[in-house]
Structure 1
Amino acid sequence: MTRILTAALLASAALTVSAGAEELNVVGTWSNLPLYQDFETPLWTEALSDATGGEFTANLTSFDQMGIAGADVFRMLGDGVFDIGATVADYTVGDAPELEGLDVPLLATTAEDARKMVDAARPMVADIMANRFDAHVLAIAPYPPQVVFCKGKIAGLADLKGKKVRGSGRMTTKFLEALGAEGINVAFSEVPGALERSVIDCAVTGAGSGYSAGWWEVSDHLMTLPLGGWDPVVVAMNKDRWDGLSAEQQQMLQKAVTEGLETPAWNAAAGGLEGDIACLTGKGECAAGQAASMTLVQPTAEDTAQAAEILKTEVLPDWASRAGNEWVTRWNETVGAAMGVTVGQ
């Protein structure tokens, strides 16, 4: 009887604490990857209430657990299906081609440069999200740099010519086609099967993401040139829902997301690539689990120079033609200025 009364009192106390809380329905990114497991889940399911003094609680699921495509997340967010949504910016460029400017491949080879690029783009991204999806940006968090997994021997960039390669975004696919490869559209979750059946020869994703998803079981060569950029994830809130919060609530929620998700995710990215490569190649210490034995292919100076030329002469002009002069001008004044690159109009 004492145990029953104690349980009842604890339940009553919990209800009292949460009675005035704003409950948020949150849709996160791929449930099997570290960003969701290590940063999204702890914030939304554990830390949020304490971080906001009991003002907010959250129900979390991921878009793959919901059975929806990553490209649908912001459309549904704008329609008010849920309160907060997160997805890879490149997944949404069919609706917002100007958003591709957030993650230009090959501009950032370190986490520090990637953060500089994202910070420069943030005001532009905020306007894109508000205009296209009726959403307010809460955070932009990184996946690891997007590298190349291949089934079969490659020694450099030139060896991708003639191969069927899954890109990680439209700019990446354009780059691959300029190399003479065939860009193939395959969903992230379907890549291992496609590699195993030789539907594709290579695929681009983050080193850590590929390790977590087991791509090393169906591929054997890893080229670390960041052909796909960093695949930033935009975390956004339905704008009507955001506008319905008090200024104090907005400040609390923003602080919780910045300190509980965005900042630690960037901190982890800074040293993540070296550990991910160790896990994929077996050279070095793998803290994540079993090490694989992929062959590491380091880009040569010629590879890097060729990649930069293709980016400048083909990839960025192609994006500019789709994004329009207004967004190209804004990109040049922000991201371009920060990274020392100008896109012609």
Structure 2
Amino acid sequence: MTVKTLTAALLTTVALAAPAFAECEVTLRSSDTHPDGYPTVEGVKHMAAQAKEASDGRICIEVFPSSQLGEEKDTIEQTQFGVIDMVRASFGSFNDIVPEAQLLSLPYLFRSEAHLHAVMDGPIGDELADAFAEHDLIALAYYDGGSRSFYNNQKPITSIEDLAGMKFRVMQSDVFVDMMSALGANATPMPYGEVYSSIQTGVIDGAENNWPSYDSSGHYEVAKYFTLDQHLMVPELVAVSKTKWDALSPEDQEILRAAAESSEPVQRKLWADQEKASEEKVLAAGAEIVRDIDKTPFIEAMVPVYEKYVTTDAFKDLVKRIQDTQEGATQ
């Protein structure tokens, strides 16, 4: 999608929605690839409600779910340009933009969701926000994205050998491609919205994602074998365009930061509830889940991936500090 095409579509959408937001002095358009009701969408809606209340109705955030403004890669670029005001996207989608983001996509970096929260809610999360600011994106909130695992339509994956030669969709990021190569599989980067039909038609054998995405996308309908190897725990980011941010008053910036912070525990609770509901749904639909798997060979296969991306002293230090962070740590 070109800047011109996206801008035209965006202006049309805004024109249609204008009456509902006519009373707002500041209107921020926020993009999300997931459907309405999804935990990330609802998290940003909570942020919107808090910002509107705290500003006495002056600040409004209009959420566009279901990739209405484009796929993640496109909407991230448009947020950098200031065409879109806000974006909610997986950290993995920023890998080729913000070098530090790649480190959080390293397989098996996080031990648990509690470990992930301790890292993102502490000083390391602040450092990452500074890195995003250098690329015209202001990080406002870190949401849960769960653990990502493999699913396919060919066979249960019970060992690393089962991945050999299989074709899996990955996000459009070099680190994901290298991860699949290290596991002996073939990576096919493509937009999230193309995965269902690509599995259905045999372009790919499967993909990797979390319980809610496996459910809400309908991927379980065409790829019933789901292996809980939990190779990635990649956080989600809510970011605002630096161009838009710099145009706001310090008071409005503080309102947005506070609203974003208040939305984090809400989204995380919704995420935990959705994971449970999604698991129950796909099991009832006949999905076959492989739960007991020896992760050691998978972890050992990631050595060359770490060697490729953790190259500088600064990156090595950051990875070590992430690994050394204890669950339950506070800022």
TM range, normalised to the smaller chain? Answer: 0.7 to 0.9
Residues 329, 105 of structure 1: alpha-carbon distance in 2 compared, 3 angstrom cutoff: closer
- Residue identity matched to 1:294: A
Could you tell me whether the CA contact under 8 Å between 1:147 and 1:223 is conserved in 2?
Answer: yes
Aligned partners of 1:109, 1:237: CA distance in 2, in Å?
29
Instruction: Note the residue ranges of structure 2 that are not aligned, 5 or more in a row.
Output: 1-18
Match of 2:114, SS state, is helix
Match of 2:325, SS state, is helix
Aligned partners of 1:185, 1:135: CA distance in 2, in Å?
24
Residues 188, 18 of structure 1: alpha-carbon distance in 2 compared, 3 angstrom cutoff: closer
Residues 339, 204 of structure 1: alpha-carbon distance in 2 compared, 3 angstrom cutoff: farther
Give deviations 1:130-159, integer Å, cap 9, x for gaps.
Answer: 112x22211111223211111122241321
1:335 alignment counterpart:
322
Aligned partners of 1:105, 1:78: CA distance in 2, in Å?
27
Instruction: Tell me if 1:237 matches 2:231.
Output: no
What is the aligned counterpart of 1:141 among 140, 143, 147? 143
What is the aligned counterpart of 1:223 among 221, 224, 227? 227
Give deviations 1:153-208, integer Å, cap 9, x for gaps.
Answer: 22413211121112345434322211211111232111111111122112101111
Residues 170-179 or 185-194, more deviating: 170-179
- Aligned residue pair count: 305
2:10 alignment counterpart:
none
1:28 Cα offset (Å): 3.1
Could you tell me whether the CA contact under 8 Å between 1:136 and 1:238 is conserved in 2?
Answer: yes
1:40 Cα offset (Å): 2.4
1:80 Cα offset (Å): 1.8
1:223 Cα offset (Å): 0.5
Aligned partners of 1:52, 1:178: CA distance in 2, in Å?
50
Match of 1:224, SS state, is strand
1:95 alignment counterpart:
97
Match of 2:266, SS state, is helix
Q: Pairwise CA RMSD of aligned residues?
A: 2.7
1:114 Cα offset (Å): 2.3
Rg comparison, structure with higher value: 1
- Residue identity matched to 1:252: I
Q: Which runs of 4+ in 1 moved over 6 A?
A: none
Aligned partners of 2:179, 2:31: CA distance in 1, in Å?
31
Aligned partners of 1:234, 1:21: CA distance in 2, in Å?
25
Residues 271-280 or 214-223, more deviating: 271-280
2:71 alignment counterpart:
69
1:331 Cα offset (Å): 1.6
Query: Alignment identity in percent?
Result: 20
Could you tell me whether the CA contact under 8 Å between 1:206 and 1:230 is conserved in 2?
Answer: no
1:328 Cα offset (Å): 0.7
Aligned partners of 2:55, 2:39: CA distance in 1, in Å?
22
- Residue identity matched to 1:113: H
1:293 alignment counterpart:
286
Residues 276, 150 of structure 1: alpha-carbon distance in 2 compared, 3 angstrom cutoff: same
1:190 alignment counterpart:
194
TM-score, normalised by the number of residues in structure 1: 0.78
Aligned partners of 1:339, 1:306: CA distance in 2, in Å?
25
- Residue identity matched to 2:175: M
Instruction: Note the residue ranges of structure 1 that are not aligned, 5 or more in a row.
Output: 1-14, 283-291, 341-345
Match of 1:226, SS state, is strand
Aligned partners of 1:204, 1:81: CA distance in 2, in Å?
30
Residues 83-92 or 215-224, more deviating: 83-92
Match of 1:257, SS state, is helix
Which structure would you say has the larger RCO, counting Cα contacts within 8 Å and 6 or more residues apart? 2
Could you tell me whether the CA contact under 8 Å between 1:110 and 1:270 is conserved in 2?
Answer: no
1:299-318 to structure 2, matched below 5 A, reads 299-300=292-293, 303-311=294-302, 313-318=303-308
Could you tell me whether the CA contact under 8 Å between 1:150 and 1:221 is conserved in 2?
Answer: yes
